Structure 1
């Protein structure tokens, strides 16, 4: 699928909260997924100004270019699969044409030539089904920092909100304003 609506809820965690959820929700038996996001932006941050973000994600041996844009239900994600050679071209400043992402970038008024590779963020992730949602525990590393995060993905905003709040309440975790990974990445880059 080239496009999808992502409905997710996020909360940064203290290491102790992360460990509690890991044990209580029995994540030890879930396979570890390691993924690296390679971020792209214009020099004048035109993607960010429009609430959008552009990344290439390496997960196992697959590479996916994703443009995230605001949507009334969550985020509109547009995807293209890339080869490792195409990824290398993107990183050295020679982006290849992307069938689905390209037209979306054009609508935002952004050309390939305006895009620059900004760096990477690596996440060690575990995810599993939970009450008709997917609960995710992430430990991310970027610019000499690391953080812990709870994510919950749902098919509807109502279901996701209910299950997410129940989870936080059950484990006495305060709800924290949590920027997405790309915002945290750029904040760390500028620190």
Structure 2
């Protein structure tokens, strides 16, 4: 399934994360989603070079293969998802036809993939004014971080709501690179 993802992100310090968690979530009743993300690239780093992310996300026993490609529009990605049965990605042929077509546009037709590693994210999600508020605590192999995501339906209106949320909680704007980039920057 292909979709356009519009989201705004902001890095948080631990105290801001706790403040938002306590304000928006009743942690005694709301259970987090535990995600294990394993990232993949070609042996020549073709995906990373083109700012493309390829991962298998495991939640409980469910595995979803996702290809994220940057869109020409700011704060948007083209995202292709497919539920899969395999645990790891090794061959180009494991991708669905839509994923293969997108990668071929970048002249990527690698025969094999390698694992870059895994991260664990503890995620809280809440619908807020028909948008999705997400708080992530991510554990990388050698560090951890905190992030606010706001998935929206319309860019301009979503940006206004996101900035209002940051202002309401006195949180400064901090660039949030994609998790795969943060992961790679700390390898």
Given the two structures, how large is their TM-score scaled by the length of structure 2?
0.91
CA–CA distance in 2 between the matches of 1:177 and 1:52?
Answer: 18
Q: Which range moved further: 170-179 or 97-106?
A: 97-106
5+ residue gaps, structure 1, are none
CA–CA distance in 2 between the matches of 1:109 and 1:27?
Answer: 47
Residue in structure 1 matched with residue 9 of structure 2 by the alignment: 10
Contact 2:91/2:112 (<8 A) preserved:
no
CA–CA distance in 2 between the matches of 1:27 and 1:188?
Answer: 33
Contact 1:39/1:182 (<8 A) preserved:
yes
Contact 1:38/1:118 (<8 A) preserved:
yes
Aligned length: 183
Shift of residue 116, structure 1, vs aligned partner: 1.3
Shift of residue 54, structure 1, vs aligned partner: 0.8
Shift of residue 132, structure 1, vs aligned partner: 2.2
- Say if 2:162 is the partner of 1:164: yes
CA–CA distance in 2 between the matches of 1:172 and 1:153?
Answer: 20
Residue in structure 1 matched with residue 153 of structure 2 by the alignment: 155
Which 4+ residue blocks in structure 1 deviate beyond 6 angstroms?
A: none
Alignment map for 1:76-95 (pairs within 5 Å): 76-83=78-85, 86-88=86-88, 90=89, 93-94=90-91
5+ residue gaps, structure 2, are none
Shift of residue 187, structure 1, vs aligned partner: 0.8
CA–CA distance in 1 between the matches of 2:94 and 2:10?
Answer: 35
Given the two structures, how large is their TM-score scaled by the length of structure 1?
0.89
Q: Which range moved further: 42-51 or 74-83?
A: 42-51
Q: Could you report, residue by residue, the CA deviation over 1:95-124 in whole angstroms, capped at 9, with x for unpaired residues?
A: 552223222222222224242111011100
Contact 2:92/2:109 (<8 A) preserved:
no
Task: Kindly report the root-mean-square deviation, in angstroms, between the aligned alpha carbons of the 2 structures.
Answer: 1.6
User: For 1:7, what is the secondary structure of its paired residue?
Assistant: strand
Residue in structure 2 matched with residue 55 of structure 1 by the alignment: 55
Q: Could you report, residue by residue, the CA deviation over 1:45-70 in whole angstroms, capped at 9, with x for unpaired residues?
A: 22122221111111221111111111
Residue in structure 2 matched with residue 137 of structure 1 by the alignment: 135
User: For 1:67, what is the secondary structure of its paired residue?
Assistant: strand
